[in-house]
Structure 1
Amino acid sequence: MRKCLLGLFALFLLNACSTSTPSKEGFIEVEGGKIWYRIDGEGDEIPVLLLHGGPGSSSLYLEPLKELSKDRPVIFIDQLGCGRSTRITDTTLMTIEKNVEQLEQVRKALKLDRFYLYGHSWGTMLGMDYYLKYPTGIQALIFASPLFSTKIWTQDADTLIAALPKATQLAIRESEKQKNFASESYQQAMKVYYKAHVRRGENSPLLQDSLNRFFGEKVYTFMWGPSEFTATGNLLTYNRLKELAMIKVPTLLTAGEFDEARPASVRYYTSLIPGAKFEVIPDAAHVTMGDNPKENNRVLREFLSKLMR
């Protein structure tokens, strides 16, 4: 599983946007360890705080968003248990509630009084729950390829799996029935699904191997499950559909044309948030910032620039 997931991120180190803006990085003490952060860019514009996916991924694959630092500070963090942050084995720390509190500790340490909050995939779940508890200071929300209902996510996965080759479908269903997620057939089925709906581009095997140390597999499997389309962890019952109406700040939702967060579902989420906007990133799957970074950044910059007016 790790190779499949890490393969999503490998090309980003080749394509990461370079800017001349200065960077500042370090570590912040939180419950359970230290969280790594990096701030790119400077100036008086409202900063953007980025929440990566996973859970247990890292901010590496968000590198194309560094281009936004030409206009404002952009803050990358690796959540506890992955990337350059402290690795953890204590499962009591592997909850969305703990992640919310750790994020608040990061905000306080960085003295963020006004900021935009961006979340991708699992980062939208964390961002949503953080907003519900600590809304003060958040000037706008960006939910990229969001998950606000695990039930809807798994239903969407079933729809997408049904369009895959019959042998792939059978491998997934048989492995799930037997709970044998380490089987070669399940691993190969993951590759087919991920290529279609997670990351459509090709990746360098060398870079893929180099990213091996950044992925927090323990966090991913405990909180989510063995793959993107099989949820077994403590996020299995996650549902914030009713709470979406409580959002009171400008909100943008995005999804890739071939996203596992299916555009139809993301459009539905958008309808539940007062005044929210929705954009589809063409020629992209779940990792929109990797499949189509130019269009992805254009959509984000356009949204942010209108907030300044």
Structure 2
Amino acid sequence: MKKLKQAALVLILLLPISLVSLAQTQTIFDGTKKINGAEIYCKVIGSGEPILVVHGGPGLAHDYLYEPFTELSKNFKLIFYDQRGCGRSSSFEKDETVTMETLVEDLESIRKEFNLADVYLAGQSWGATIALNYILKYPQNIKKLLLLEPAPGSSEFMPEIQKTILSRLSEQEKEKLTKLSQMPDIKTNPETFKKFMEIRTNPYFFDSSFTKKRDFNYFDSSRVQNFFASSVMFSPYMMNYNLYPRLKEINCPTLIIHGDYDIIPTEAVERMKKEIKNCELNVILDCGHFVHLEKPEVYFRLIKEFIAK
């Protein structure tokens, strides 16, 4: 149980942030659809070739990617969704067991629902793990794969990630985190949760000024509960998985973007590049786990250039 709790903390690989003012975008769909037995929230914007965007977590939602990614809606159709049990999608049913296979089938059902073929698949952090599992099962549907600040390809890196996170926190911050994590309302009170996240996510940035601009305001009580439920649900998977041996099966062009200050070791993404046949790795200097926020011009230029090739 202690290991599962530690894993749940490690799995906070994303955070909802609002730093960019929204440009005028064309909204094609904004609502829920019955997907694979669950109510899944989807939002489709822009026009052009489709990019299916998979957010991170587990337990978060698409919101933190939406505003920065509107930059791509000028040239592409973007399909965002909240994974089951996350954001505006339906919560887990009592005693429901959701596996990685479930998430893969949800993604496939969304692709079919929106009639997407030859799609660009973009997964950020935990979303990249889902994307990898998806393409290993449905390679014929993906034109190009974008692994954006991806989680490692194996659970072997989790202890190192936890060590890195702790090394970037002061003793005072660690003490505050411990107290907040032990508060009885941490899983139900958005204010307590926000205070916890504000400290917990500091190590994810190279530039500390970004940590003062984060917006956790859309974490209401139901989203907080969903966050913890998802973290617990997928902790067993994240403590015991290894995708590296199968990455050689991926044949489509693949892009990896990684910050040199990411909590994810560079070794983890270098191994991905080595195993995937047609893979381009870009390590961006002076960036943490959110290159799309710390260096958006470089980030979206790389994505556009990769798709254009």
Give yes or no for TM over 0.5: yes
* In the alignment, structure 1 residue 196 sits paired with structure 2 residue 212: no
Partner of 1:220: 230
Query: Compared with structure 1, are the counterparts of its residues 104 and 303 closer, same or farther at alpha carbon in structure 2 (3 Å cutoff)?
Result: same
Kindly state the Cα deviation for residue 296 of structure 1 after the two structures are TM-superposed.
Answer: 1.6
Paired letter, 1:221: S
Partner of 1:135: 139
The one-character-per-residue Cα deviations of 1:25-51 (angstroms, maximum 9, x if unpaired) are: 2322123421111111113xx311000
Query: Compared with structure 1, are the counterparts of its residues 100 and 242 closer, same or farther at alpha carbon in structure 2 (3 Å cutoff)?
Result: same
Partner of 1:41: 46
* In the alignment, structure 1 residue 299 sits paired with structure 2 residue 309: no
Partner of 1:227: none
Partner of 2:3: none
Kindly state the Cα deviation for residue 134 of structure 1 after the two structures are TM-superposed.
Answer: 1.2
Kindly state the Cα deviation for residue 160 of structure 1 after the two structures are TM-superposed.
Answer: 4.9
Partner of 1:121: 125
* In the alignment, structure 1 residue 88 sits paired with structure 2 residue 92: yes
For the 8 Å contact 1:255–1:266, the answer to whether it is kept is yes
Matches within 5 A, 1:30-69: 30-43=35-48, 46-63=49-66, 64-69=68-73
Matches within 5 A, 1:126-165: 126-147=130-151, 148-162=153-167, 164-165=169-170
Query: Compared with structure 1, are the counterparts of its residues 104 and 16 closer, same or farther at alpha carbon in structure 2 (3 Å cutoff)?
Result: farther
Query: Compared with structure 1, are the counterparts of its residues 60 and 259 closer, same or farther at alpha carbon in structure 2 (3 Å cutoff)?
Result: same
The one-character-per-residue Cα deviations of 1:101-133 (angstroms, maximum 9, x if unpaired) are: 111111111111210100011111111111111
Query: Compared with structure 1, are the counterparts of its residues 290 and 219 closer, same or farther at alpha carbon in structure 2 (3 Å cutoff)?
Result: farther
Paired letter, 1:223: M
TM-score (norm 1): 0.80
For the 8 Å contact 2:13–2:126, the answer to whether it is kept is no
Partner of 1:211: 219
Match of 2:259 among 256, 260, 280: 256
Separation in structure 2 between the aligned mates of residue 17 and residue 281 of structure 1, nearest angstrom: 25
* In the alignment, structure 1 residue 182 sits paired with structure 2 residue 189: no
Paired letter, 1:222: V
Kindly state the Cα deviation for residue 282 of structure 1 after the two structures are TM-superposed.
Answer: 3.5
TM-score (norm 2): 0.80
Separation in structure 1 between the aligned mates of residue 168 and residue 41 of structure 2, nearest angstrom: 40
Paired letter, 1:292: K
Separation in structure 1 between the aligned mates of residue 243 and residue 306 of structure 2, nearest angstrom: 24
Kindly state the Cα deviation for residue 289 of structure 1 after the two structures are TM-superposed.
Answer: 1.9
Kindly state the Cα deviation for residue 163 of structure 1 after the two structures are TM-superposed.
Answer: 5.6
Separation in structure 1 between the aligned mates of residue 296 and residue 132 of structure 2, nearest angstrom: 24
Partner of 2:245: 242
* In the alignment, structure 1 residue 73 sits paired with structure 2 residue 72: no
Partner of 1:228: none
Paired letter, 1:248: N
Aligned residues: 285
The one-character-per-residue Cα deviations of 1:82-118 (angstroms, maximum 9, x if unpaired) are: 1121122445442111111111111111111210100
The one-character-per-residue Cα deviations of 1:126-176 (angstroms, maximum 9, x if unpaired) are: 11111111111201101112221121133233245346546667999xx7x
Query: Compared with structure 1, are the counterparts of its residues 81 and 193 closer, same or farther at alpha carbon in structure 2 (3 Å cutoff)?
Result: closer
Segments of structure 1 that go 5 or more residues without pairing to the other structure are 225-231
Q: For the aligned residues, what is the CA RMSD?
A: 3.2
Helix, strand or coil at the partner of 2:120:
strand
For the 8 Å contact 1:49–1:76, the answer to whether it is kept is yes
Separation in structure 1 between the aligned mates of residue 228 and residue 247 of structure 2, nearest angstrom: 30
* In the alignment, structure 1 residue 273 sits paired with structure 2 residue 276: yes
Taking only the aligned residue pairs, the percentage that are identical comes to 27
Separation in structure 2 between the aligned mates of residue 183 and residue 61 of structure 1, nearest angstrom: 27
Separation in structure 2 between the aligned mates of residue 7 and residue 278 of structure 1, nearest angstrom: 21
For the 8 Å contact 1:270–1:278, the answer to whether it is kept is yes
Kindly state the Cα deviation for residue 234 of structure 1 after the two structures are TM-superposed.
Answer: 3.3
Separation in structure 2 between the aligned mates of residue 285 and residue 257 of structure 1, nearest angstrom: 7
Match of 2:104 among 91, 100, 118: 100
* In the alignment, structure 1 residue 111 sits paired with structure 2 residue 86: no
For the 8 Å contact 1:168–1:189, the answer to whether it is kept is no
Paired letter, 2:261: F
Separation in structure 1 between the aligned mates of residue 181 and residue 156 of structure 2, nearest angstrom: 24
For the 8 Å contact 2:40–2:82, the answer to whether it is kept is yes
For the 8 Å contact 1:61–1:290, the answer to whether it is kept is no
Paired letter, 1:113: A
